[in-house]
Amino acid sequence: MEVYTVTVATGTSEYSGTNNYIYLTLVGENGESERTQLDNPGLDFCRGAVSVVPLRLWLCKHQTTQEDISCVTYKQNSSYLMCDPFFFVLDFISITALLYNVLLYFPVSPVAKTLTGDSALQLLEHRRTELQERQKTYRWVTWAPGIPRCIDAETEADLPQDARFDNEKRSDFEHSLHYALLELSLKKLTIWFGKSWDDLEDFKRIFWKLKSPIAEYCMTHWKEDWFFGYQCLNGSNPRMIQRCKKLPENLPVTADMVQRSMADRTNLDKELKAGNIYLLDYAIMDGIPSNTIKGHPQYIAAPICLLYQHPDEGLIPIAIQLEQTPGRDTPIFLPSDPPLAWLLAKMWVRHSEFQVFQLLSHLLRTHLVVEVFCVATLRQLPAVHPIYKLLSPHIRYTLEINCRGRTQLISANGIFKRVCHSTLGFNITDFYLCSSFVSSMVNLYYQSDHDVQEDLELQAWIRDITEEGLPSKLSSREELCTLLAVAIFTSTAQHAATNNGQFDWCAWIPNTPCTMRQPPPTDKDAVTMDMIMATLPDVSQSCLQMAITWHLGRAQPDAIPLGRYTEDHFTEAKALEVIDRFRMELKEIEKHILSENEGLELQYLFLLPSRIENSITI
């Protein structure tokens, strides 16, 4: 029998406390204590409380070092007829062995260990039991054919409590949405619900309190060709543009058509060979059925847009075809065409951009890809596993935000089903920001490729992800590092790049219209301002687009930036050194980005590390 003093600190976030009974168990290499109640329910475990409890715990052998007591488990049982709805959040547990006066500090997570690092039967059984319980709680389901598997939960209410928003996050999310929808309702009442706009200037009438400097810049410059090209590189979907060495066969553009857009003493063939011609191809939109809103049909195009890197004017569009099949009713629009025809053609490209960006680049390639990693991690890796600890901050809240949006955003018959069949590939150079950090952490816990191969929990984890086109086995540390870098980069920098600027680029509706109420033009000379106004979203649709993009793209008040963690997942000195070094590198990157943007009229700050959230929470 050993006497321990246990200090339990309750979390400080709102509603962290509980009125339930809290029980503690010490698990050591030589035994496990009986489950022991920590005092009585009540103020001992209220928000921010620090409770000191003397306990007599029996272990098979005295445990007097942190290495001996490998983990601390706690459980809460209801103290009343009905369970306390609040979720108990621990900051840390510290234990003092009075006989030897040794202080053992335990954050909520114990020392990181792979499966081969735990040799005691009690600890191995603890890992196995934990995963069995998790696999009952977190189950896979296929929402629709062709869509990545996801958590088996219809709504956020079906998720376990520790996967859901805490009350502060939930309150902010709902307040933000209600605020946006309230302003939406007031605008619709003020401007007339369902009414069409009379003129492009009328769109300014929905800029009330919801506004941003970039959105107002869009309002002024959206018609300019250089600004169209700028958004291809710096907007919410910079991965759409590709270099074009040879014109597509279904885009019959001739050198004479675009010569007026070329610089002096050059032509289309020379610029193609020089690598200065680029392409936006929305072929994935071809054949997508259109939607109907309140009885009125909406329309979709599948444009091909050719761009040229002009030495003086920057990246500019030089030809646009609004459908994939050329023909008499599919003209090629040029900058030399009537101004309104060229303007409407660019609007159609931006409309297609809105669809692909929201459903493919944003929803599929960040939210749903990360959900696969999230569910597999929760099902196959125990909390003590170093890879669980590494990924845990980057999957926080992902399940709830996905459940909230799934029924609204996924269409079984529309564009989403089609884009799911496209590649989910990543460019390894994209995630340099975190690859070095990941490699350093992995190498602390895996000394060789053999260690990766022999980690049965890790191999079960990759098999759970296999359905998404990844290898079914990890053979080396390099493979593991690449996969983890993809997961962390996608949940942080990639999501920030696609999500955080959507209000900026979409609030001025003509710049990126969410829907089109008339079919694409087939006659350049027939385009009028009345046709443009009849095509663009009406008052109701415009207000809704502004409200939703503001709600989703706004800065989160509770955001935890990349490199910062609210919980001490790692306690080992070497791991903490790697984390500190990563934070220092992020600070240097932040300084460099700010320096590069200094003096620019239009700054790109979406990938400042301080503005990249640690996980997908919105």
- Answer whether residue 28 is part of any domain: yes
Q: Which helix (H) or strand (E) covers residue 191, if one does?
A: helix 167-191
Residue 141, phi then psi, degrees to nearest 5: -150, 150
451 known member of a binding site: no
Asked whether the beta carbons of 41 and 19 are under 8 A apart, the reply is yes
Specify the pairing of strand 296-297 against strand 31-32: unpaired
Identify the CA nearest to 110 among candidates 575, 576, 585, 571: 571
- Answer whether residue 55 is part of any domain: yes
Q: What is the pTM of this model?
A: 0.81
296 known member of a binding site: no
Give dist(CA 175, CA 3) in Å, integer: 49
Tokens of 7: 């200090």
- Answer whether residue 435 is part of any domain: no
Tell me how far the alpha carbon of residue 278 is from its chain's centroid: 28
618 known member of a binding site: yes
Dihedral sign for Cα atoms in the order 113, 116, 117, 120: positive
Residue 557's pLDDT is what? 73
Count the domains in the chain.
1
CA atoms within 13 A on the CB side of 175: 8
Identify the CA nearest to 280 among candidates 240, 316, 311, 320: 240
394 known member of a binding site: no
- Answer whether residue 89 is part of any domain: yes
Residue 124's pLDDT is what? 81
Tell me the three-class secondary structure of 51-64, residue by residue.
Answer: EEEEEEECCCCCCC
Give dist(CA 235, CA 232) in Å, integer: 6
Residue 101's pLDDT is what? 40
- Answer whether residue 339 is part of any domain: no
Residue 79's pLDDT is what? 45
501 known member of a binding site: no
Residue 417's pLDDT is what? 33
Name the one residue in this structure whose structure tokens are 């792979």. 114
- Answer whether residue 461 is part of any domain: no
Query: Nearest 10 degrees: CA dihedral of 76, 82, 86, 89?
Result: 0
- Answer whether residue 30 is part of any domain: yes
CATH of the domain at 40: 2.60.60.20
Residue 424's pLDDT is what? 33
464 known member of a binding site: no
- Answer whether residue 210 is part of any domain: no
Q: Which helix (H) or strand (E) covers residue 308, if one does?
A: strand 304-310
Tokens of 275: 């690598």
Tell me the three-class secondary structure of 79-94, residue by residue.
Answer: CCCCCCCCCCCEEEEE
If the chain, 618 residues long, is cut into consecutive pieces of 10 residues, what is the mean pLDDT of each piece?
64 61 67 66 63 58 46 53 40 48 47 77 81 91 79 80 63 62 60 69 79 91 97 92 95 97 96 97 92 90 98 97 95 97 98 92 87 92 91 81 58 34 35 81 95 95 76 89 90 91 93 96 96 92 85 79 82 91 92 93 92 87
Angle between helix 121-137 and helix 369-380 axes, rounded to 10 deg: 140
19 known member of a binding site: no
CA-to-CA separations, 69 to 22, 26, 98, 141, 425, in angstroms, rounded: 19, 7, 15, 38, 43
597 known member of a binding site: no
Domain that holds residue 94: 2-108
Helices (H), 466-508: 477-489, 495-499, 502-506
**Bridge partner residues of 561 (DSSP):** 613
Identify the CA nearest to 140 among candidates 148, 153, 154, 151: 151
